[in-house]
Structure 1
């Protein structure tokens, strides 16, 4: 007897998909642990116990190595003999393309299969899964990926963070004229204005004027035309008092997507399914809402409620970061920048930009990051020339970076930016480039030990428990569920 497809939304971009082939989990950030330099949590919080998520899983599909999709503490829960499917990135083969497999093998996983763009893999020997690569025109998104599962009762498209262009949408529509359900990135988050050095009044004014672009969502609606659409992977929140303002300055809510559908697609809108953690969907039974409804009109109060549960962990993380040694910080920074400048990989510098890192505290100093096609990448001390952007960093945060507790590549989420010139696309290109290359070629997670020539005092490897703080080794799932 054929088995129906069932999709359970775990949290963020993590789905547990069960069907005739067995069970597949994708992009497991399934723990209530923060990412982006331990600053950014998920809201709504995860409520499915991790032991339940990993039970009887046959396959893992990991779309890319950003830590909200490639979350090492979450991956540590899986059996080391699980079958793992990874994008090959053969259309953009760089050293970074191997980082996920290197980290997984370091953790002890060994059943790893890499798929080429548009390649079909038979789950369970009979259910096609097709790897959808990044769009050709999205140069900075080459690492992102999606997939299609062709189940006997449903065609499921998971685009994840894999933003589209029109040629990609045309190709998807031609190959799968009927898409029963599509999971796409929701509104996501932005650095502006919440990560900038501005007064609250200036920040609120900027947030009110900010235009929320939904070009990718419109392309999916106009070209792929799925019967049902699920926006996901945008469920972020900030619990530390120093970052709490980002809850209204850096993110939107699902209502913006709903309003856009009602306003622009009233006569042709697909069924909109807003899934919360633990909810399920299947072709036969539809959306089973297992999670209490979120009051998006008062979502800041709901986030405060989550913060009350997570408070001890927030405090533990703050104490861990602030205990990083600050002795000889400038001298240690100079040693680090010399190594980074010497050994950094200089791929794809086709832009011109200048950023300044300004460390502020009892010890204050600054240096510049300079990139252009002629000279490549340089780190320059004693440079007072104009720059495109200044990242103001507190001394405790920078000490944690130098000590390897958080990642330089994600500095923008824990610093305050100042932009003395109008924004231009090359500045964005530099940020993407730094995120990929400034430290090394491993995934941007604190559980990765930096080492080798760039950091000879550290051991290369992966420690899934590094930077992870459990309070009594459990969180109050009943409270988070609203029981």
Structure 2
């Protein structure tokens, strides 16, 4: 069996002439023009070749990019987790990607796809509502080899118990090692020093989790996987605060200190590893990229890129207040159904028109207030251009993706993370 690293969560597994692609993303400028590969990828979309199987873990574009999928052969068989609603299945249908077969694999039951190929799924952590709604991880038993691909799924206790009991001997584990979101990059309530300290704290915790999960799974080889990107464009200066390293090699020192260095597998883009012979091809040393190299790449190639919302301007006929009130009504319906009423306020600042709307999550109303006046705590304030905010309210851009793309400025007071608020935020659209 051969594992080929392409970049991010995109990789290829080959066994006896059959090929399986993981999470297709090779085009640039996803997430409305914001995300680009880092470290750079060496493989062109047109050079991927033919696949027998394609595993898609979830709907996020760095795992499920239409710009890459349209280049794949349609006789490939798609592997996704069976769930309701099934965002990936709906995505494939809406884009008319008519593949030969779509296998809906039930979690913790699995499915045999061929005489020598069995795949199983493990759902994301139920405690993380957003991840649990969309994400999945996969176990592949191909011949005598077992591969576990967690992609973005942070392994959780119950899922790990099932994995270790059902698949006690894992040859290769692909595990998350870092995190990426708008925190702390976009939080203007933090000083620069506080942002850097938070970035380092989060990354250290993630790498510690990578080590802990490696010890528990006990694979022969482990790869720090997924979450490899950089934000281009006018917000690219915020990359320095993102809570993920300049490359997967950031885990090396801590992994070696934990006594797991002999299991760590670091591969360049386009480099393969043969699980039987334990050899790399090409036989080249791993290239570890520095933050300085990343910043130089941004300055030379990415800072000039424009986001989708920077390319258009909505006229004054668009009624912002009506959009906000319609979106608030839908959010209140979701709150009522979920019985979730956090004692805080969402504040939307429209930078161009200098308008402010306050949404008290304990009542159904919306209040327009003076943007120049100080706010009373607690609150989560989000500011952006009028066009960006309108696109969020009409659902063209999701709040979750805007966060990952670093589009919004946040002011959170007190600076305490409440996941329920960020889940509710995704219902704030007409």
Normalising to structure 1: TM-score of the pair? 0.76
Deviation of residue 255 (structure 1)?
4.5
Structure 1 position 336 matched with structure 2 position 323: yes
- The number of aligned residues is 412
1:41 maps to what in 2? Answer: 36
Aligned residue runs from structure 1 range 60-459, under 5 A = 60-89=54-83, 93=84, 97-110=85-98, 111-142=101-132, 143-197=134-188, 198=190, 200-204=192-196, 206-207=198-199, 212-214=204-206, 216-253=209-246, 254-263=248-257, 265-266=258-259, 271-288=263-280, 290=282, 293-296=286-289, 298-305=290-297, 308-310=300-302, 314-315=304-305, 317-318=306-307, 320-328=308-316, 331-343=318-330, 346=334, 348=338, 350=340, 352=342, 353-361=344-352, 363-371=353-361, 378=364, 380-382=366-368, 386-398=377-389, 401=392, 406-412=397-403, 413-424=406-417, 427-435=418-426, 437-439=427-429, 454=430
Structure 1 residue 226: Cα displacement: 1.0
* Cα distance in 2, alignment partners of residues 209 and 147 from structure 1: 29
C-alpha spacing 1:278/1:433, structure 2 compared with 1 (3 Å): farther
**Native 8 Å contact 2:180 2:244 kept in 1:** yes
Q: TM-score, normalised by structure 2?
A: 0.84
Which consecutive residues of structure 1, in runs of 5 or more, have no partner in the other structure?
440-453, 455-483
Change (3 A) 1:149 1:306: same
Cα distance, 1:199–1:221 mapped onto 2, change above 3 Å: closer
Superposed displacement of residue 369, structure 1: 4.1
For residues 118-144 of structure 1, the C-alpha deviation after alignment (integer angstroms, 9 at most, x for no partner) is 232223343111122223444442122
CA distance in 2, matches of 1:216, 1:117: 23
Cα deviation, residue 343, structure 1: 4.5
Can you list the C-alpha shifts for 1:371-418, whole angstroms capped at 9, x where unaligned?
A: 45xx6xx56232665442111213453355468764444333211111
In 2, the alpha carbon distance for the partners of 1:423 and 1:408 equals 19
8 Å Cα contact 1:21-1:125 kept in structure 2: no
Tell whether the 8 Å contact from 2:249 to 2:266 is kept in structure 1 after alignment.
no
Q: Name the CA distance, whole Å, in 2 between partners of 1:80 and 1:106.
A: 15
Question: Which string of whole-angstrom CA distances, capped at 9 and with x for unpartnered residues, describes residues 217-274 of structure 1?
Answer: 24422321111110111212123253223234432243542222223x22x5551012
Displacement, 1:302?
A: 4.0
Q: C-alpha distance in 2, partners of 1:369/1:279?
A: 50
RMSD: 3.0
Change (3 A) 1:287 1:336: farther
SS at match of 2:71: coil
How far apart in 2 are the matches of 1:140 and 1:323? 30
Stretch moving more, 411-420 or 225-234:
411-420
SS across alignment from 1:160: coil
Find the aligned partners of 1:416 and 1:68 in 2 and give their Cα distance.
23
In the other structure, the counterpart of 1:448 is none
The answer to whether the 8 Å contact 1:321/1:405 transfers is no
Structure 2's unaligned 5+ residue stretches are: 370-374
Matched ranges for 1:19-34 at <5 A: 19-20=15-16, 22-34=18-30
